[in-house]
Structure 1
């Protein structure tokens, strides 16, 4: 792979066997060293990157023999300066680590990787903290404002085995989410297609759509009530008179913003959600101490990519959510 920024000319890259199954964005980030991730996402969205002469999406998987056309890329002085000043080294709390992969407890407010206006994320910081590591790649993603279990592969074989499990939906991913109102105990399955679209400013959004929508992706979310809570007297209680419900949410499909959109479409948005939530309630809750979205990747069950034995990873609610939840009254 090139160690210098790529030249300003069209490039044709053939995907090799070792890169099979990687997302296009991750593949290009590795190949185009020194190019800001925001620029990589921009040339993908604009259609300038072509696979076998056709358009391709950032989350599409590349296959051996795919021919990728990369447009001319010129780095500005600012971009070259950024390339010369990499992300700060940072380790994150470990949940598990062995020779195949590591699992960290990602804090809220940290992107998993750079791009779309973010200079760097978890993966860039861990790579800087572990310069001796020959291979470190994200297995999956979490939204920037979501905390919890995040997997990073240390071998290509482990990356493929783990991503295959995610793709085949054989992992068990359970989140903790606090939502507005009293969630109906009988509502346990949300099976609604989701449709991705862009706002005028280019920001990504998702909405529930009908089954007849050709661009709708089937999305299944399982919901279980964990506990119910009531706000203390005051503005939040007035805005959410039915209190709040803590849910255990298991996703059977891994769509963008799936949990956030499914819960909001059911009339019970996640508190603190700045994209799909109740914005007035969020403002009141900020005053009461809730400074983030209450969504936490709590438990992940999978098969070890090398030992082939079941493994379950879990991390409890972070302190800021535990403290704020304790300020409410059980209902």
Structure 2
């Protein structure tokens, strides 16, 4: 557990908290650390107090991506949480197990369903990791290695040891993993378009009453100092009337990378409610003949990585969920992936 120094706060009278980082929290990103410490606080507010410099590590400013080390002293500013939110945050997540693709003493790989967030925050009380922890109270450690969007299904890695977490996150950061998704996009994707190498930048939509709106991502220019290089490889897996099934391999793991890259080429993902074609989505949702497509067609299909203990190369595959298979069958897919 993290040692709390001089912490004295409640929903009515918040106060500054000082936390020492122990071995269990070492290696975490600052934003993830704060999400767990500030339960019930909206994710947008967490990022706001980081950007403003109110959160300090060893008395210095830090970014959301800063990795914590053993012995770091973290300052948490006073944060007010309504009694309703605080009460809701105090309620434990319902325990839930998910389909397991691989599990040993170091890690587990699960097949995450669509519609479930990987963690709580941003209007979501709990996600996969909170439900797993509740279902496995005896587990010493369960931490997300990486993330998937709430509406994306497929392979998700969870570390069961701190050493495994660091090793696997290093592999993701150094681009030593292989991540391939299946995505159904609008229109006839040109077979020659195999590489998208366009930088991405985050921005905020206008909010209400002076508050920040939702976070979004867009393609930017190479001259943009805030742009982050993003690389996506695309292979046509099958063609449907008015749509194309793609195998999409990402070399960088930027937020919403696949969704924005594919949409930027004029081929948005079916069912994408943030970057998609809303009229097309409506038609897919209510087709003349069932079944319709009632979710985003993006699935984390294959994942390769080196085992953090044995260094053996692991190759996992999560087959398409039943609802996506049913839609492809309905849409008369000509060449489904093997």
Residues 100 and 111, structure 2, Cα contact 8 Å, conserved in 1: yes
2:222 maps to: 211
Q: 1:229 and 1:13 mapped to 2: Cα distance?
A: 55
Does residue 250 (structure 1) correspond to residue 239 (structure 2)? The answer is no
**CA RMSD of superposed structures (Å):** 2.2
Q: 1:248 and 1:208 mapped to 2: Cα distance?
A: 21
User: Greater CA deviation, 301-310 or 19-28?
Assistant: 19-28
Pick from 115, 118, 131 the counterpart of residue 112 of structure 1: 118
Pick from 8, 11, 25 the counterpart of residue 31 of structure 2: 25
Q: 2:141 and 2:23 mapped to 1: Cα distance?
A: 16
Pick from 122, 147, 156 the counterpart of residue 162 of structure 2: 156
2:321 maps to: 318
Instruction: State the 1:47 CA deviation.
Output: 4.2
Does residue 88 (structure 1) correspond to residue 131 (structure 2)? The answer is no
Q: 2:234 and 2:200 mapped to 1: Cα distance?
A: 17
User: Greater CA deviation, 53-62 or 103-112?
Assistant: 53-62
Identify unmatched segments of 5+ residues in structure 1: 231-242
SS at the partner of 2:108? strand
Pair 1:17–1:130, CA change in 2 (3 A) = closer
Pair 1:280–1:35, CA change in 2 (3 A) = closer
Q: 2:101 and 2:333 mapped to 1: Cα distance?
A: 30
Residue deviations 1:110-142, cap 9 Å, x none? 100000111110001111111111110000000
Does residue 329 (structure 1) correspond to residue 332 (structure 2)? The answer is yes
Instruction: State the 1:27 CA deviation.
Output: 1.7
1:296 maps to: 299
Q: 1:303 and 1:225 mapped to 2: Cα distance?
A: 27
Q: 2:117 and 2:99 mapped to 1: Cα distance?
A: 15
Identify unmatched segments of 5+ residues in structure 2: 208-212
User: Greater CA deviation, 78-87 or 321-330?
Assistant: 78-87
TM-score scaled to structure 1, two decimals? Answer: 0.89
Instruction: State the 1:59 CA deviation.
Output: 3.6
Pair 1:159–1:261, CA change in 2 (3 A) = same
TM-score scaled to structure 2, two decimals? Answer: 0.88
Pick from 194, 201, 207 the counterpart of residue 195 of structure 1: 201
Instruction: State the 1:81 CA deviation.
Output: 1.7
Q: 1:281 and 1:17 mapped to 2: Cα distance?
A: 49
Does residue 278 (structure 1) correspond to residue 277 (structure 2)? The answer is yes
Instruction: State the 1:304 CA deviation.
Output: 0.4
1:222 maps to: 233
Instruction: State the 1:73 CA deviation.
Output: 3.3
Instruction: State the 1:79 CA deviation.
Output: 3.4
Residues 136 and 153, structure 1, Cα contact 8 Å, conserved in 2: yes
Q: 1:203 and 1:298 mapped to 2: Cα distance?
A: 28
User: Greater CA deviation, 32-41 or 147-156?
Assistant: 32-41
1:267 maps to: 266
Instruction: State the 1:221 CA deviation.
Output: 0.3
Q: How many residues align?
A: 318
Instruction: State the 1:78 CA deviation.
Output: 1.9
